[in-house]
Every structure is written in C-alpha cells, then in structure tokens.
Structure 1
Amino acid sequence: MAPPKVTEFTCGGFVVGLTSSHSITDGLGAGQFINAIGDYARGLPKPRVTPIWSRGELIPKPPKLLSGPLPVPRMFELRYLTVDLSIDSIEHAKSQFLQSTGQRCSTFDVAIARLWQARTRSLRLADPSTRVNLGFFANTRHLLRGGATAGFYGNCFYTVTVSAESGEVVSADLAGVIDMIRDAKARLPAEFARWAAGERVEPDPYDLSFSYESLFVTDWTRLGLMDADYGWGTPSQVIPFAFQPFMPKAIIGAPPAPKAGARITTQCVEDVNLPEFRDEMEAF
C-alpha cells in the first residue's frame, strides 16, 4: 500500500489519494487503514479499531491451486460512465419487488440488478442463449471460524457469481433480475463453508474469467471510506480511479451529501455500446 498523496486547493479543501494492493488487503482493510490515519491525525493515542493479522488462526485452508501457465486476458477499450440512481427510483423498485415476491431487497440488490440488465441490453448479443456473467465480492469475515474478525485487515472476500442466458436477463422485469442476485447471495454461506473445509468449489470463485460478457461489481458503501476524519469532518465524496483494461467493472458508492441514492461508477463497455448503456441507466 503506497503512502497517501495529498493535494490542497486554494479554497481550503483537499484530496487524499491512496493506492492499495489486493496482495495485502481488501477494501475493508484499506478502509480501516484510512480511518486509522484519521484517528492519529485527530490526536487519538491509537486507532479506534486495533489492526489484527492472525492470518493463520482466522483464514481456513482452501483447496490447493492447480498448476499451469497464467492466462493472458483480452484487453478492452473500456469507457468511464458515472450514473446516479435516485432514492425515489430505488425505493420504487424495492416496493415492486416486495409486491411481486413478498420479500424485501436491498439498495445493493436494486443497483446491481439494474446495472447488469442495462449492460446486457446494451451489448445486443445476437444469440439470446449466450451466457452473461455477474460477479460481486462479498465480505466473509462474519463466516470465519471463531468470530474474531474485528480489525482483520487482510483479504477476506469471496466471489459470488450469477450466470444466465442473455435473453433471460434482457427480457426479465427488474424483480426477476433481483431474484437471481438474491439467490446467489443466499448460496454464499454454504459455498464458503465448503471452500473453507478444503472442498473444491466449481467454478473456482477466485479463477476469474475476464470476458466481455462478464461484469464485476464492488460495493464501496460499507467499507468505511466515508467515515474517515482527519480533523475537518468526513469526506464530501469518495471516488475510484483505476484502469484495468481486461476487467469490465463497476463500483457502487454514494453520491455527495446531501444527495441520497446510489452512485455507480463504471468502466464496463466500449464505445460501440456506451450510448445505449447510458440511455438504459438514465431511464431508470
């Protein structure tokens, strides 16, 4: 993890830039690090959350990795697009899902469902039986044995995957897409338990396929990034800035206060699909 870089503006505001690596920590660990710096900056004698490594005690013994050459991913010319989903549209989708299924869903469920469906529609795949894949990264600290997870700053996430025919995703109502996502989330505890016990889970949750038909999503709203306080209050905005031309991706965050809802920052389509993808997202 590189030291934070600070840019000050004449208006009195400033920007803190931080680069972290998944070889050391995941998003929650990076958020813990940022908050620890803020704690020291405000004069606290120690961070409010004590960092814990204890990796040998916490992390299970997963199946051994298969040997072989590393794959060479295909590179894409992915374009940035940021779209805000209003709180009214999110609550309306939640209400429709409740009426349709009798169950409640989260803001994350709504945002990721709308994102996946909009992107799939924009791809206009000629064969509706083509498989499209959605992957999102779930924190598994609460599933570790012993429960001693507070403060652990290493990698502790599991890839939840959803796969369906493109025609099914395109033609479904939003409640149907949400249901696919919730089914995948419900499988997480059992799948992670099998993986943690040393069983080989297929497909391998860490063998990511970076095809154009695949989309990867990360939720930044629960990482603690918006809680960091260096003595001037919490941030007005937290945004990602990363370039991975082999990985169609999106990050779900929050718009600047006092605006409510969800802000989705994407780098997941090429120029040919960008106009329709933008239209689909803005139509929500």
Structure 2
Amino acid sequence: MAAATAVAAVAAAAAAAEPTVSKSAPELVPPAGPTPRGALPLSSIDKTAAVRVSVDFIQVFPPATGGPAADGQDAAVARMRDGFARALVPYYPVAGRIAEPAPGDVVVDCTGEGVWFVEATASCALADVNNLERPLLIAKEHLLPRPPPEEKLEDLILMAQVTKFTCGGFAVGICFSHLVFDGQGAAQFLKAAGEMARGLPAPSVPPVWDRDSIPDPPKPPPRGPPPSFTAFNFVTQVVDVSPESIARIKEDFTASPTGGGGGQTCSTFDAVTAVVFRCRALAASSLPDDAEVRLGFAASTRHLLAGVLPAVDGYYGNCVYPVGIARHRGAVRGAALAEVVGVVREAKEALAARFTDWLGGGGGGDHYDVPLDYGTVTVSDWSRVGFNEVDYGFGEPGYVFTLNDDVNIVASVIYLRPPAPKRGIRLMLRCVEEPHAAAFADELAKFA
C-alpha cells in the first residue's frame, strides 16, 4: 500500500509540474476611431504569389531584469491591446475581412470589425520550458490565437495572442493572412502597433495600400494537368550556422575564380543557401546523380516597384517573386561550395529582368510552376523580415520562430535569428526523410 501511495504521489507531482496555459475567450479589438468602409482590391502579386492560408509564428520576449509583477504584466498587455486598436485606424483594411464577391475575385471588405486578441497565462517561467526552443514543451495550439467557431480562419487578416509567464516574460503568437501581407508587410503593421502601444501618436512609416497600382499581367495558359501532391515524412531538424562559418564562406567565394578572384562579394543569404542546397544534395542518396535537384525561394521585389507604386515605403502587400535553381544532383554534389554560391547569386541577379517581364505580361509566370517532388527544396529567409524588431512596450523579442511542422508536401527550410545572445543563422528544417536525416545533419554540422 505504501509503495502504491508513493507511486501515486510521484504521478501527481509530475502532473502538477507539467506546464499549463489558461486562455481567455478571444475578444475583438476594433479600431480606436472611425475608419472607411467598402471593398479594396488585392494586387496581382497578392493573388498570384500567395494562397488563402494563414502564417503562424511566435515572438518570445524574455523577462526584464527582476521581472515585472503580475499587475505590471497586465498593464503591459493592456497597452499592447491599445496599440493594436490605434494602429488599426491608419491600417483600417486589417480590421476587415477577406471576401469573395464573385468566384475567383478575392477582395478585402473594410468592415471595421477588428482583430481577434487572446490573453493567456502560463503556469511556468520561460526557463521551465527551455525558452520555447525545440522541441516545444508547450503544445503550439496553446500559444497561438484562434477565432471563435463562428468565424472562418481563412477570412481573417490578423490575430494575436499574448501569453504571460511567471518570470515576467511573454510569448506573442501571431497569425496573419498571406493574401494581404508578405512577411515584411506583416512586420511593418506589428511595428506600428508596438509604436502606438509605446505612446507614439502615429506610425513612423505611414501605411500604403495602392494594390491596384500594380499591373495585372495576363495569365499564361495552363500547361498540362494540375500538379499532383505527394505527402512526405519530413523530419524536423534545427541547426545553427555560425557567424564564423558564414564569414569563411564569404571569404572563400571572394577569393575563388567564381568570385572573380577578389572582385565580388556574396551575402549571408547566398552563403547559407549554398550550404543548404549542397548539403541536401550530398545527403539525398536515394536520388541518382542525373536526377534534377531544385532550390526555390521568394525574393523581395520592393526595390523593383519604384515607379510602379506611388510610394514604396509603407507598402505592406506582397512584394515577392519566385526564384528557381535547377541542377543535376551530381553537379551540385561535386561542386565546390563557392561554385554553388555563384549559382545562387546568378539566380538572384536574373530576378529584375524576370520580374519586369512578368509585370509586362511575359512568360515569367511560368516560374510559379515547380515540381513538388523530393528533388525540390524551398528556403525562406525570416532573419531580416522585421519580426525581431517589434517592441510592444516590453522590449524586442529574444527569439522569433515559425510553426511549419505540418508542411509535408514540399521540403522547406526557414532561416531565423537564433535566440539571443547567439549569432549567425538558425535553420528550421523540414526537408529530408528519416533515411537521409543523419547524413544531412552530419553535413550541416561542418558549418556549426
């Protein structure tokens, strides 16, 4: 009997120690003042580059020295909520809903309803859950906002949840519509909400809508049957590429014949992307050397929209265009890393001509058709989007990460800033299956 009692006590203690999150019911935060009504069109880039899906991510805010008391946290959350309400006045479309007045015609209906806001309280400190590093010790559904059942998630433009931890830290979960924002656009809105929460009278960057200024190129005729989708069993891996490795890759590229023997430089994105492409080609041993391997990424075109948009600064719609690289696996596997860096740079340099061709109705739209087989990997750079510079009144986040664990159709890698004070680039990887995971990790470890 004593033994059974002891086992029960241990089980009860373990259950008590498991972190819990208590959520309030979602509440609408409407604009703090009157806003225009009516339908606003989306741009051709919004409707071509994005689909009607939501993007989820978490911002982790470590506690200030000493950590605020509970009432201090409550006051900070109240100011954050007020910042959202005030930001929704100049950003009034965000307070609306996505609508489809006719089949295939998607618009933003400026209803002024507001954004859903959830307050939550965790039973633990951030340190108790490893500061929300992977593997997550709190299920992601406890950290992300979701609307009440009567609302359709795909109709919403943005939601927020702030979770308070006992240490005085916060986690802010954001869900935004990729139809309305790209990453930089969503970060621009959140920065504005933070500025208003901190007492600024207006956003430092005035928002620009102007989606109808972007031309609507004719769509190329469909080529062949619709693409088929295969569900893969990708393994989640997290790898940090050190700043020393990145610096060494840059130096090697500049000194290589590809880099002009000292005449050219490469960016951090170029260096890290070359590492991902080559290491995956080395690890994917089930693909023959004559198989095509591909790398795709969405490149920003904001700098190419000057003269198209009345004002580029402040524009928060999608400004991305796909860039693709295709080579035989054997060629990538056998190439020096500096050569692969050069391939990435060449693809980026071709962007301006291809995007301009697409805007003019040329064949650039074909670049959206990428085979979704095991030979394809996509990369997305979140390290410079701006989510790490958002300050709702309790400082900038120490870590920002996405939640893409359910993506199984195409291999993907997301570049993040590692948690402070670490430096370099963190790779959030969902791009190889179990038979290749160890070899992939071994190749990437050479750059840790």
Identify the TM-score tier after normalising by the shorter chain: over 0.9
SS for the counterpart of 1:266 is: strand
Contact 1:4 1:18 in 2 (8 A): yes
Which deviates more, 184-193 or 48-57? 48-57
Unaligned runs of 5+ in 2: 1-156
After superposition, the CA RMSD in angstroms is 1.6
**Bigger RCO of structures 1 and 2 (CA < 8 A, at least 6 apart):** 1
Query: Aligned-pair distance for 1:69?
Result: 6.7
Contact 2:183 2:385 in 1 (8 A): yes
Aligned CA distance change for structure 1 residues 126 and 268 (closer, same or farther; 3 Å): closer
In structure 2, the partner of 1:27 is: 183
Query: Aligned-pair distance for 1:43?
Result: 1.8
User: Could you tell me how far apart the structure 2 residues matched to 1:98 and 1:273 are?
Assistant: 32
Unaligned runs of 5+ in 1: none
SS for the counterpart of 1:275 is: helix
In structure 2, the partner of 1:197 is: 360
User: Could you tell me how far apart the structure 1 residues matched to 2:161 and 2:225 are?
Assistant: 36
Aligned length: 282
TM-score normalized with structure 1 length: 0.94
SS for the counterpart of 1:5 is: strand
In structure 2, the partner of 1:150 is: 313
User: Could you tell me how far apart the structure 2 residues matched to 1:233 and 1:126 are?
Assistant: 47
In structure 1, the partner of 2:379 is: 217
Query: Aligned-pair distance for 1:179?
Result: 0.6
Q: Give the structure with higher Rg (CA).
A: 2
**Percentage of identical aligned residues:** 42
User: Could you tell me how far apart the structure 1 residues matched to 2:379 and 2:439 are?
Assistant: 20
Query: Aligned-pair distance for 1:96?
Result: 0.7
In structure 2, the partner of 1:251 is: 414
SS for the counterpart of 2:358 is: helix
TM alignment of 1:1-284, pairs within 5 A: 1-57=157-213, 59-66=214-221, 70-100=226-256, 101=259, 102=262, 103-146=264-307, 148-201=311-364, 204-242=366-404, 243-284=406-447
Contact 2:306 2:312 in 1 (8 A): no
Contact 1:81 1:266 in 2 (8 A): yes
Contact 2:220 2:363 in 1 (8 A): no
Q: Which deviations, in whole Å up to 9, do the C-alpha atoms of 1:139-198 show, x marking residues without a partner?
A: 101101416211111111000111100001111111011011011011011111111111
Q: Which deviations, in whole Å up to 9, do the C-alpha atoms of 1:64-85 show, x marking residues without a partner?
A: 1535874341111112111111
**Which letter does structure 2 place at the counterpart of 1:192?**
F
SS for the counterpart of 1:238 is: strand
SS for the counterpart of 1:3 is: strand
Aligned CA distance change for structure 1 residues 214 and 229 (closer, same or farther; 3 Å): same
**Which letter does structure 2 place at the counterpart of 1:137?**
A
TM-score normalized with structure 2 length: 0.61
User: Could you tell me how far apart the structure 2 residues matched to 1:124 and 1:156 are?
Assistant: 36
Contact 2:227 2:371 in 1 (8 A): no
SS for the counterpart of 1:35 is: helix
**Which letter does structure 2 place at the counterpart of 1:55?**
R
**Which letter does structure 2 place at the counterpart of 1:259?**
K
